[in-house]
Amino acid sequence: MELSESITHKNGRQRKVTCASDPPENMRDLLRRDTSSSDPDVEEEAEDLIQGSDSEERRYHRVRPGIRGELGNVLLLLFLYVLQGIPLGLAGSIPLILQSRNVSYKDQAFFSFVFWPFSLKLLWAPLVDALYFSRFGRRKSWLVPTQYLLGLFMLCLSVTVNSLLQNEARPNVVTLTAVFFMLAFLAATQDIAVDGWALTMLSRENVGYASTCNSVGQTAGYFLGNVLFLALESADFCNKYLRIEPKDTGIVTLSDFLFFWGIVFLVSTTLVAIFKGENEPRKGKRRVQEETQGVMETYKLLFSIIKMPTVFTFCFLLLTAKVGFSAADAVTGLKLVEAGVPKEQLALLAVPMVPLQILLPVVISKYTAGPRPLDVFYKAFPFRLLIGLGYALLVWWTPSVKQEGGFPVYYYAIVLLSYALHQVALYSMYVACMAFHAKVSDPLIGGTYMTLLNTVTNLGGNWPSTVALWMVDPLTYKECQGAPGQSCGSVEEAGLCVKEDGVCVTTLDGYYVESVVCVVIGLAWWVWLGKKMRRLQEQSPAAWRCRVEQ
């Protein structure tokens, strides 16, 4: 049974996209039949697909205009992506702050929903692409109000965040989650708008720089909102490294940080709205034309793609593959903070990882460039599971290493080594997965196909992390020693135990239970479903592609 949906291409004609389980006709013949049209844009597009990267490389060398004339646009894109990373970095720092205030792991699980919008943005991306005010600009119609809202949210939060974090006995996690969820939702919407604007802001010859701006800008923004903020917010770090006379607080507070970036968002957005036009003329450079699709057509296309047997199976595997890593990825850092490791020191360990994170994709891509990129995914899988067990041993060992002045240097060296090994396994799987997405995504339907697969991949990491955090407390067993008749089953019961001069002692930590269970589940997935994922590479290209009909 075939599902056919019409898509409006840039030349205004309607073509049918048919996603079917039956093998479509040869792609080269299909493309050449498409070029029978007299439309030069369609001919050029199809010819690019037929001739591949070699012809594109020759064409690039023939033009080679450089980016000097568009340096301003590149810097603007970079700045917009940096702004996007700020709220994400702040959201990533809140769990560490909450952990130092002894919130429950169920509260941490609830707050983890903050990180879901970037995994679900495909649900509203068609709206951002299709609905806009043409006189103001297709992308500015969403970018400007979204960034204004981000700035206003940050200014309002700067006034109330201290009361939310110090609300009576414990932080107001529900309100914090709601506010930071909105920040993440707005940042994800801004990401959709900026990604789309990048295609037309840069000329066709320089549009490849957009991905560089994305990765560098988001990383820099996250670093500012997470690592830099946690370091400057820590009184211990500032007194030790940045001050002559010690004080009780850090150089900046969360309220100050939010206020500063709220002002930056408002000012920069106003400048972009006034001075930056979307459709500025170019001298000697070809603009990249965007495909315009209706909202319903895009949603129907997504549904059609998902219903393809190979895609449906692959999405199921992506949604379940990371269950085995969930305890290690989501809970380990919080357990180290609980054991007394300063949160700012953990954040700073990300700094020496930056060169490794830059080099790893380059090195790994050499092994994923062939016809079977998922072989790398499959081989790295058990090593990442073993690293998860190593994390559990690290958490168990941490209390015995703690000294009066903190932790020795060799402890941080071991933590850094563990983190580096984890990054190698993580990036091996990530790059392999992205390479396979690029390999099977049908080039005839734009970025919709690959965006769908990337979204499912992200969601496959978020939901197991939320469940892992949620299950730590139910799997943990504590008893109240020194106060007969009292228990420590909840935060309230633990408070009563302390009031009765008792002490809550953990007899079984749910984190260790989860670590073992997750590794067992991961191994079972690797043995049975992992082989099924590898076999997907043996499917013909026709099994992944949609037919385009005139």
pLDDT digits 0-9 by tens, 226-236: 999 999 999 98
What's the DSSP call for residue 38?
S
Output the CA–CA distances (angstroms, integers) from residue 158 to 90, 95, 163, 232, 262, in the order listed.
Answer: 12, 17, 10, 16, 9
Q: With 60 as the cut, is the pLDDT of residue 530 above it?
A: yes
Q: Tokens in use for 426? A: 């993580």
What is the tens place of the pLDDT at every residue in 413-438?
999 999 999 999 999 999 999 889 88
Distance CA 48, CA 111 (A): 46
Distance CA 145, CA 190 (A): 9
Residue type, 353: M
Q: Which domains are seen in the chain, by residue range? A: 70-276 (1.20.1250.20), 293-470+514-549 (1.20.1250)
pLDDT band with cut points at 50, 70 and 90 for residue 403: confident
pLDDT band with cut points at 50, 70 and 90 for residue 443: low
- 95-109, 280-294, 468-482: least confidently modelled range: 280-294
Is 4:548 a contact under the CB 8 Å cutoff?
no
Higher confidence at residue 31 or residue 182?
182
SS3 523: helix
Q: Which residues contact 488 (CB under 8 A, 6 or more apart)?
A: 478, 479, 480, 494, 497, 504, 505
- 70-79, 128-137, 338-347, 506-515: least confidently modelled range: 128-137
φ/ψ (deg, to 5) at 372: -130, 65
SS3 15: strand
What's the DSSP call for residue 538?
G
φ/ψ (deg, to 5) at 147: -70, -30
Q: With 60 as the cut, is the pLDDT of residue 43 above it?
A: no
> Which residue from 270, 8, 266, 19 is spatially nearest to 140, judged by alpha carbons?
270
Q: Tokens in use for 65? A: 């205009």
Give pTM, 2 decimals: 0.82
Distance CA 447, CA 361 (A): 21
Higher confidence at residue 213 or residue 450?
213
Per-residue DSSP letters for 450-503? HHHHHHHHHHHHHHHHHHHHHHHTTT-EEEEESSTT-B-SSHHHHHHHHHTT-E
Per-residue DSSP letters for 84-153? HHHHHHHHHHHHHHHHTTT--HHHHHHHGGGG-HHHHGGGTHHHHHH---TTT-TTHHHHHHHHHHHHHH
Is 131:295 a contact under the CB 8 Å cutoff?
yes
Q: Find the angle CA(385)-CA(451)-CA(521) to the nearest 5 degrees.
A: 20
Residue type, 385: L
pLDDT band with cut points at 50, 70 and 90 for residue 273: very high
**According to the model, what pLDDT value does residue 113 have?**
96
Q: Tokens in use for 218? A: 């988001």
Q: Tokens in use for 106? A: 């169920």
**According to the model, what pLDDT value does residue 212 have?**
80
- Number of neighbouring beta carbons within 10 Å of residue 129: 23
What is the tens place of the pLDDT at every residue in 493-529?
777 888 887 888 888 899 999 999 999 999 999 999 9
State the average pLDDT over residues 195-223. Answer: 84
- Number of neighbouring beta carbons within 10 Å of residue 341: 22
18-38 burial, b at 16+ Cβ within 10 Å, e below that, comes to bbbeeebeebeebbeebeeee
Q: Tokens in use for 73? A: 């646009």
**According to the model, what pLDDT value does residue 285 have?**
55
Q: Tokens in use for 224? A: 């500012």
Q: With 60 as the cut, is the pLDDT of residue 26 above it?
A: no
User: Environment class of residue 271 by beta-carbon count within 10 Å: exposed (0-12), middle (13-18) or buried (19+)?
Assistant: exposed
Output the CA–CA distances (angstroms, integers) from residue 91 to 20, 147, 385, in the order listed.
Answer: 41, 17, 27
State the average pLDDT over residues 437-442. Answer: 82
SS3 250: coil
